[in-house]
Amino acid sequence: MAEREGEAAVAVIDFDMLCAAVAAAAPTKVAEEPDERWGFGHVQRMWEGELLADYLDDRRIAMEATCCPCYSFGKNMQRANLGSCFLQGAIYLILRLLALISLVAFFLTKNNAYVYFGVGSALLVGVYLGYFRTRIRRQFNIRGNNSWIDDCASHLVLPCCTLSQESRTLEMNNVQCGVWHGRGETTCLVGNSRIEGITDLPKLLPVKSPELCSMDRKVNSGDQLLGPHVSQLGPLDP
């Protein structure tokens, strides 16, 4: 009877270990399965904060995106490996200067041609920056509206907020030369569920060797067999 109870306890322990192993391997297996509904993979990353609500979440990045947008854009392109900082920043500066010069020329000459040229330059800025925002989103599997038009509209309507969001995402996740190294805390999506605080998971799991497990089982079964007899014996005299 005691032997059967010992075997049942060992079977329960083995079943618990098997369930724990299956549960530990399940997230990795699910993350590797592609999902055709999104088109960019099953596990997707998130932008760091909202466009307008979290604009001042990092004030240094917000001031940099507002006061030095050309440098901020060039640095983002260099982090994402989409061009050099100097070249991309210079192109952005030229496009913005064209729009500004056209606006000043219209106020001085009252010529409507400068208005059309300025509006075209402003639209070109939004299209150019929106194109690279789409490149960043697709390159790093960042979830968002899968529309290039929405990315362009974000840079046209909220240019500083959009640029600040891109800078926060690339800098906080330690993106270097087009490689997403990540940070301590990560927010990702697996299926339709959101996972946060992945750092709380243990990195190492204690595992006993088979020899120690077999020895523990023998000792436990021996204690169960000798338990009723030992309890009937009195104390031993020295």
pLDDT band at 83 (very low <50, low <70, confident <90, very high): very high
Q: Which residues pair with 45 in a beta bridge?
A: 142, 188
Q: From CA 76, how far away is CA 167, in angstroms rounded?
A: 6
Looking at residues 105-134, what average pLDDT do you find?
92
Q: pLDDT (tens digit, 9 = 90+) per residue, 57-79?
A: 899 999 999 999 999 999 999 99
Alpha carbons within 13 angstroms on the beta-carbon side of residue 202 total 4
pLDDT of 10 > 70? The answer is no
Nearest to 162 by CA among 46, 75, 52, 59: 52
Does 122 or 201 have the greater pLDDT score? 122
pLDDT band at 198 (very low <50, low <70, confident <90, very high): very low
pLDDT of 210 > 50? The answer is no
pLDDT of 161 > 60? The answer is yes
List helix spans (H) across 110-192: 112-139, 148-157, 159-172
Looking at residues 2-22, what average pLDDT do you find?
51
Predicted pLDDT of residue 66: 94
Does 17 or 155 have the greater pLDDT score? 155
Who contacts 182 (Cβ-Cβ below 8 Å, separation ≥6)? Answer: 173, 174
Using a cut of 0.75, tell me whether the model's pTM lies above it.
no
Span of 53-57, 88-92, 181-185 with lowest mean pLDDT: 181-185
